[in-house]
Amino acid sequence: MISSDVINMLELGQRAKAASQHLAALTTEQKNAALGRIADLLAAHTDDILRANREDIARATANGVDPVWIRDRLDLEKRMSGLIADVRRVVDLPDPVGTVYDERDVPPNLRVHKRRVPIGVLGVIYESRPNVTVDVSTLALKTGNAVILRGGSDTLTTNLALVDVLRRALREAGIPDDAMQYVASADRRYVTEMLKLHQFIDLIIPRGGASLHDFCREHSTIPVIIGGMGICHLFVDHSANLPASLDVIANAKLQRPAVCNALDTLLVHERIAASFLPQVVERLAAAGVQFRAEPRAHALLDHPAVRAAREGDFDTEWMGLTLGLKVVRDLDEAIAHIRAHSTQHSDGILTEDAAAAERFLNAVDSAAVYWNASTRFTDGSALGLGAEVAISTQKLHARGPMALEELTTYKWVVVGQYTPRP
């Protein structure tokens, strides 16, 4: 069901922009009613959606796609009820739009505040995982933003079935369905066109691997949230509680090895390396971890799962059961290593020394810095934000998990008494 029609991206952008002005004026109650309708219709049309999903699965299977990948990313069968529950949870999240802050008097007689407003139109470019279609659209709706979606070609049939339900729910709730639009083509030139629509799209959110982010950064004239890629470090200081540290390291490496906040490199202070590193290897090797050790670490380890690190290993996001190991002289060398190799996602120190911890937390310039905790907490729900649309590793607008508030901006509201500037 890949569309062969030519898509008029300009018109699509114009329609989204017009719809975004309607969305910005909705009350929280109106947005919540529409979200409730989305949840209801997703439940009512689950059969249609899963039928479309089975088409995508059959095509992927025929094309020889890895069945594990299909199960983990493409298949919605076991995910529909969770997806619908997530939509109902968005209803309960606080609506940041309209919040007034930084209110004050400004001479000669002005009353000034900032007011949270939607960003406008979000362009979201993603790969596989059709649940992103629903997640992003509902978080955008809650914050009054229109979306233009472009998912992976592998999931086009599923995505179109989902978008059909989403748009129907909007219409039934009295909201223009142009607020959620889908670029229904596998042709990548529409992605390139989309990235140039700065007169209509306010923000590009890529959800996918490093190459997608690089492509967006290279071609977009619209601000892009760069993120998702995490080469994450933990540094074990000589004063750390070692048995407790071992638990944190195991959690950071093993809980979900294929996600961006999983541990990639362990740095160990030289004073404890000889005793601690073998314990790390023993514990994690039992769970299937393979190790890449730099020379000083390698010399301390005699285990079949350990091999010498090669060029580039410390600049690799492992996305699986591999862990880099390095012995460092001191805190400064740990900080220098992280500055050189981190993607500024999530990095932490394990120590009993508060001064060392404070120095680390200041010197390491990552979106999230940790003292005595697992890097796995860099996540919208783990940090108590309720949801997230992306994890930013760039410096502008938002760092780390982007939740509802990060999908808004502000305007200055200035109230005078027919006040000229003096």
Residue 39: closest CA among 169, 158, 140, 139 = 169
244: left (phi over 0), alpha (psi -120 to 50) or beta: alpha
| Residue 43 or 319 having the CB closest to a second copy | 319
Q: 114 has which bridge partners?
A: 101, 412
Cα 364 from Cα 352, distance rounded (Å): 18
Residues 174-233 that bind a second copy (CB under 8 A): 198, 202-203, 217-218, 221, 223-224
Cα separation values, 26 from 55, 88, 201, 231, 413, Å = 37, 18, 20, 41, 19
| Residue 190 or 410 having the CB closest to a second copy | 410
**In this chain, which of 244, 258, 286, 287 binds a second copy, going by CB under 8 A?**
244
Minimal distance in Å, beta carbon 399 to a second copy?
6
241 binds a second copy (CB under 8 A): yes
Residues 358-377 that bind a second copy (CB under 8 A): 361-363, 365-374, 376-377
101 binds a second copy (CB under 8 A): no
Cα 22 from Cα 126, distance rounded (Å): 26
30 binds a second copy (CB under 8 A): no
Minimal distance in Å, beta carbon 45 to a second copy?
34
Minimal distance in Å, beta carbon 206 to a second copy?
14
**In this chain, which of 13, 120, 257, 324 binds a second copy, going by CB under 8 A?**
120
Window contacting a second copy (CB under 8 A); options: 44-52, 85-93, 305-313, 390-398: 390-398
Token couple for 11: 């018109």
| Residue 287 or 414 having the CB closest to a second copy | 414
Residues 326-355 that bind a second copy (CB under 8 A): 339, 348, 350
Contact of 379 with 388, CB cutoff 8 Å: yes
421 binds a second copy (CB under 8 A): yes
Minimal distance in Å, beta carbon 403 to a second copy?
12
255 binds a second copy (CB under 8 A): yes
| Residue 168 or 339 having the CB closest to a second copy | 339
Q: 126 has which bridge partners?
A: 207
Cα 348 from Cα 236, distance rounded (Å): 9
Three-point CA angle 57, 61, 62, nearest 5°: 120
Encode 263-302: b = buried (16+ Cβ within 10 Å), e = exposed.
Answer: bbbbbbbeebbeebbeebbebbbeeebebbbbebbbebbe
Distance of CA 251 to the CA centre of its chain: 20
| Residue 43 or 112 having the CB closest to a second copy | 112
Phi, psi (5° rounding) for residue 286? -60, -25
Window contacting a second copy (CB under 8 A); options: 123-131, 246-254, 282-290, 292-300: 246-254
Q: 400 has which bridge partners?
A: 392
Cα 378 from Cα 43, distance rounded (Å): 31
**In this chain, which of 128, 131, 245, 393 binds a second copy, going by CB under 8 A?**
245
**In this chain, which of 67, 288, 320, 416 binds a second copy, going by CB under 8 A?**
416
